[in-house]
Amino acid sequence: MKNNRLWITPNNDLEAQTIIEMLRREGEKFEITAQNWGASWDKLEEEIKTKIEKAKENGEEVYGIELQGDSNGGINVDHHIYGEDDRSNSNSSIEQVAEILGVELTLDEQFVSANDKGFIPAMEKLGKELGINENDLKEIISNIRMRDRLAQGVTMEQEQQAQEAVEKLGEIKEKREYIAMDLPHSKTSTVTDRLYGKYDNLLITSSDGETNFYGTTEIINILNEKFPGGWSGGQLDQGSGFWGGYADQDAIKATVAKAIEQNENTNNQEDEQSR
pLDDT of residue 1: 45
Q: Which of 130, 73, 78 is nearest to 100 (CA)?
A: 78
**Could you give the CA distance from residue 110 to residue 126 in angstroms, rounded to a whole number?**
8
- Cβ atoms of 35 and 63 within 8 Å: the answer is no
**Could you give the CA distance from residue 104 to residue 135 in angstroms, rounded to a whole number?**
26
- At position 170, the amino acid (one-letter code) is G
- Cβ atoms of 100 and 63 within 8 Å: the answer is yes
CA distances to 64, 262, 265, 266, 268 from 275, rounded to whole Å, are 55, 20, 16, 15, 11
pLDDT of residue 264: 82
**Could you give the CA distance from residue 96 to residue 12 in angstroms, rounded to a whole number?**
18
Coil/strand/helix, residue 64: strand
- Cβ atoms of 230 and 212 within 8 Å: the answer is no
**Could you give the CA distance from residue 263 to residue 150 in angstroms, rounded to a whole number?**
36
pLDDT digit string (tens) for the chain, length 275 residues: 455 999 999 999 999 999 999 999 999 999 999 998 789 999 999 999 999 999 999 999 999 999 999 999 999 999 998 888 999 999 999 999 999 999 999 999 999 999 999 899 999 999 999 999 999 999 999 999 999 999 988 999 999 999 999 999 999 999 999 999 999 999 999 999 999 999 999 999 999 999 999 999 999 999 999 999 999 988 898 999 999 999 999 999 999 999 999 988 776 666 566 65
CA distances to 50, 52, 59, 254 from 44, rounded to whole Å, are 10, 10, 21, 34
pLDDT of residue 37: 79
Residue 139: other Cβ atoms inside 10 A: 11
CATH topology of domain 156-274: Diaminopimelate Epimerase; Chain A, domain 1 (3.10.310)
Q: Which of 61, 56, 5, 6 is nearest to 33 (CA)?
A: 6
- Cβ atoms of 140 and 127 within 8 Å: the answer is yes
pLDDT of residue 38: 83
Coil/strand/helix, residue 107: helix
pLDDT of residue 274: 64
Structural domain spans, the chain: 5-104, 111-151, 156-274
